Chain A
């Protein structure tokens, strides 16, 4: 539909070859400036390149009504957890009601600073590739700042069947005045994004630019201070739904900035093992379009797989624990939140809350666990519409033991609250594969001690662990014994 200027070759290969130039123009960032070696880059310098102080960000958020969302103690849910916990166990559970943001999710924090930044730099519009809440957040913020928005969404399989949750996001983006491209399944979304950026000269409101992660830092910062003000101390644990890594990264950085350094940061994803994210066939055999392991694990083992040269969302730097839950457990938890707490919220936003029901049982009663998001609910974004769709697409939906769930074949709603559990994913294994990927991507380059230090920081491990990991590789980088 686009880019028919004379002489411009818009074949897949040619557009991808122009990637670096297109992205540099579309982000206003010269990523090359931060590269130190084929492995190492200066992450903190990249994060600091946009030059916004916490006070600046607070002021910008105030202008557009983003943030300062309520922190709600889930007293009835806590009682439920205690009723199924050993004596003395079952900690207090709080939730940060991020549905109170202008477009209904924490993604407004991500979009607010990026869209403000785009306007400040003189861009006339913003482009983003998102089938989820982020697209709506960008469209909403663009409306507030008087910029144009284009949202590229992966919506349909080849039968033109789309999940209700994504169809709702198309509607929401259009309600905010955005031009929405509804695309079929495939990684060529990135190719289309490059073409649209080239045609329009708009800003790339990527999920992975510095302003996006800086925006989420406010979430960790706010919740730490809300708990401190109310309880006189910082939370013991924060649960964060994990997909591309921005939510974990921003929240953890915000906690640190608030001084809440000992808080355990747990990432939670919906387990979708066995489903291929680029498969036309698998596309409609999942009910969750994000916050799942199909993004969560690949983005930890190689964060720089995104639409920008270096990803500012680096979850492995900050995660203390990574837990998986099932789709059925999240739908069950969505019912708990509505029926016990009077809060009807979207299922995908309750992913980490599902993890909390299980993890709170391990913790002492006087401890504090914070679930850091909720999202809005609507037609398409609720258990009844998502389960109706799942059944239409051949998924067996039943009550039972969620431990028996097979992603893409069944959705098992727990029969009893004490069947709720999390499966801990081994972070050591993820660290190991991240380090190996970094070495492989550097194609024959011999890592120095500076690189080992970078890889240790980037994977929350120690240089000795990095050296051992490199030593265990079958194909050694050039020059190593």
Chain B
């Protein structure tokens, strides 16, 4: 079975500028890596596997091409882990206000 079929929500990847094509005056850590991009949209090809060159229709209806990166990508950011350094602040300052 292919990874994605037409109309699936997918994310494509493109290298926009290779390191040699990038702007001058970049810090060294930036200069040595390519300038890359990811965009989401609906697959226009009949079917495709990750790594294939594909066409998508973006959320505003434009057609873009790139390499198939992910199918139905998840938003992975979250609320984080409770932080010990923050947990007692409320009680500490409430005491000051009550005094």
Contacts and interface: CB of A to CB of B under 8 A. Distances in A.
B66 A164 contact: no
Given A83-B99, A186-B26, A179 B83 contact: no
A155 B22 CA distance: 18
Contact of A192 (B16, B33, B80, B93): B16
A366 B23 CA distance: 54
Contact of A388 (B26, B75, B81): B81
Contacts of B34: 158, 184
B64 A1 contact: yes
A180 B37 CA distance: 10
A11 B61 CA distance: 26
Interface in B68-99: 75-83, 85-86, 89-90, 92-94, 96-97, 99
B66 A1 contact: yes
Given A1-B66, A336-B89, A388-B83, A191 B23 contact: yes
Contacts of A380: 77-78
B33 A184 contact: yes
A366 B77 CA distance: 44
Contacts of A170: 75
A379 B59 contact: no
B62 interface: yes
Contacts of A417: 92-93, 96
B65 to A, nearest CB: 6
B80 A387 contact: yes
Given A1-B14, A379-B79, A179 B94 contact: no
Contacts of B36: 156, 158, 183-184
A130 to B, nearest CB: 16
A73 interface: no
Contacts of A280: 27, 29-30, 33
A413 B40 contact: no
Contacts of A184: 33-37
Interface in A420-450: none
B37 A379 contact: no
A397 interface: yes
A185 interface: yes
Contacts, number: 161
A18 interface: no
> Main secondary structure on chain A at its contact with chain B?
mixed
B39 A167 contact: no
Given A164-B77, A180-B40, A386-B80, A186 B35 contact: yes
B77 A385 contact: yes
A2 B23 contact: no
A79 to B, nearest CB: 5
Contacts of A138: none
A335 B89 contact: yes
B64 to A, nearest CB: 5
B60 A178 contact: yes
A200 B78 CA distance: 34
A470 to B, nearest CB: 26
A174 B22 CA distance: 28
A188 interface: yes
A148 to B, nearest CB: 4
A164 B78 contact: yes
Given A84-B96, A178-B59, A1 B65 contact: yes
Nearest to B30: A280
Interface in A11-43: 11-12
Contacts of A276: 27
**Most chain B CB inside 10 Å of its own CB: which residue of A1, A179, A188, A338:** A1
A278 B93 contact: no
Contacts of A188: 16-17, 22-23, 35
Interface string A281-303: 11000000000000000000000
A340 B92 CA distance: 11
Nearest to A388: B80
A398 B86 CA distance: 10
Contacts of B21: 11-12
A108 interface: no
B41 to A, nearest CB: 8
B23 A339 contact: no
A387 B27 contact: no
Given A184-B35, A187-B26, A331 B16 contact: no
B26 to A, nearest CB: 6
Contact of B78 (A11, A80, A84, A379): A379
A335 B60 contact: no
A332 interface: yes
Contacts of A125: 60
A201 interface: no
Contacts of A187: 23, 26
B89 A384 contact: no
Given A1-B39, A148-B61, A387-B85, 4 more contacts: A80-B97, A191-B23, A387-B80, A389-B80
5 contacts: A149-B60, A164-B80, A183-B16, A383-B86, A385-B78
Interface of B: 12, 14, 16-17, 21-23, 26-27, 29-30, 33-41, 58-62, 64-66, 75-83, 85-86, 89-90, 92-94, 96-97, 99
